[in-house]
Amino acid sequence: MYLIRAPSVMNLLFLTLRQLRLEKVHRFASYLQLPNLEIALAYILPTCNIIHHASLIDVLSIKTINGKRTLLKDNNPVLSISLPQCLENFAQFISSGESDSHTVLIGHNSTTFDTPTLLRSGGLTFKQRLSSRDLFFADSLHLIIGSLPIKAGNASLQIDGKACKPNLSAVFETLFQQKFDAHDALEDVTALHKILFDSPLNLTIAQIVNNSNLKPCSHAFADMKFLVEPFERMQTFKNKLYHPQSDNGVVKQRVIQKIAESGLAYQDLENLFRKAGKEGLVAVLSKAPTKSKSTRSPRRTNKAAILSKIIHHFESNK
């Protein structure tokens, strides 16, 4: 997690939930030239082991050293804290701002990742604590799309007549004719800070805040639940009806995704089979969730082969 507090009349903070290369901190502080720069910086020790594919990408691993679970980066132990401690540090960081002003937490495309991940990790009590500080979330992706002209025909953004995708890397490269090390926390917030405050876009604080899909913490939390709950329901099927690593379970992951999106968890199907048998499973999975003419598609499938596999699974696990 990486945050900076930029000087403004309303506590504008930058947020990204990425890895940070620690050796870049001093260079970043020098670039910003902010006497009141504050940094909240931490590696978070996961409660479970890191999967193989993530280890290859992030070069992070967990080993037991002297009887203690230890987080390693490039096979070297690093200081880490628990997720609850990290969230407490975050809340204290937010509380350190001016109490008589609003706080806006902004990130690029944060609506789909950073914001829901933060709020899901913190839960309801954490949300209430942030709400008490008048915290708002903003997404600079909406700002960029709304601030740049769009070329008719291919719907691409235009910067000085050049086509540009709305992602952070493309916008930065088009504006400054240089690249940065994307997906590193420090590089991401440096690039976004430069785009918002030191670029040819000449954006004002009012433009940034009013055009970045600003929403209070309570609304962001509701959006998170809408995005996250289907995923959490999917986890109830894990290693039962499907296997996420190999996708060679009873049915494919896309089948489970549709079932979860319809509002059903594994326990729901288990209870349904126990009470209504295979006829109940077929009725629920193969029919539309309502009688509305506009919703005729099944909750998942009416294909006999898939239904047969699901029924066989529950019959085998009586």
pLDDT value at residue 27: 47
Q: Output the CA–CA distances (angstroms, integers) from residue 20 to 234, 273, 282, in the order listed.
A: 30, 48, 49
- Average pLDDT on 256-279 reads 91
Q: How confident is the model at residue 214 (pLDDT cuts 50, 70, 90)?
A: very high
Q: How confident is the model at residue 56 (pLDDT cuts 50, 70, 90)?
A: low
Rounded to 5 degrees, what are φ and ψ at 139? -125, 115
Q: Distance between CA 230 and CA 127 in Å, rounded?
A: 20
Q: Which of 96-100, 116-120, 175-179, 256-260 has the least mean pLDDT?
A: 96-100
Element (DSSP H or E) covering residue 15 = strand 12-16
Q: Which position has the higher pLDDT, 278 or 303? A: 278
Could you read off the pLDDT of 163-210 as tens digits, one per residue? 888 899 999 999 999 998 887 777 888 899 999 999 988 988 888 988
Could you read off the pLDDT of 68-88 as tens digits, one per residue? 999 888 888 888 888 898 888
Rounded to 5 degrees, what are φ and ψ at 198? -145, 50
Contact 11, 98 (CB under 8 A): yes
Strands 103-107 and 135-139: parallel
Q: Which position has the higher pLDDT, 5 or 64? A: 64
Instruction: Write down the pTM of the prediction.
Output: 0.71
pLDDT reading at 277 higher than 90: yes
Contact 307, 285 (CB under 8 A): yes
The residue extents of the domains of the chain are: 2-44+81-225, 236-316
Would you give the DSSP letter of residue 109? T
- Average pLDDT on 14-32 reads 54
Question: What dotted CATH number matches 2-44+81-225?
Answer: 3.30.420
Q: What is the DSSP string of 146-213?
A: HHS-B-TTT--EEETTEEE-SSHHHHHHHHHS----TTBHHHHHHHHHHHHHSSTT---HHHHHHTS-
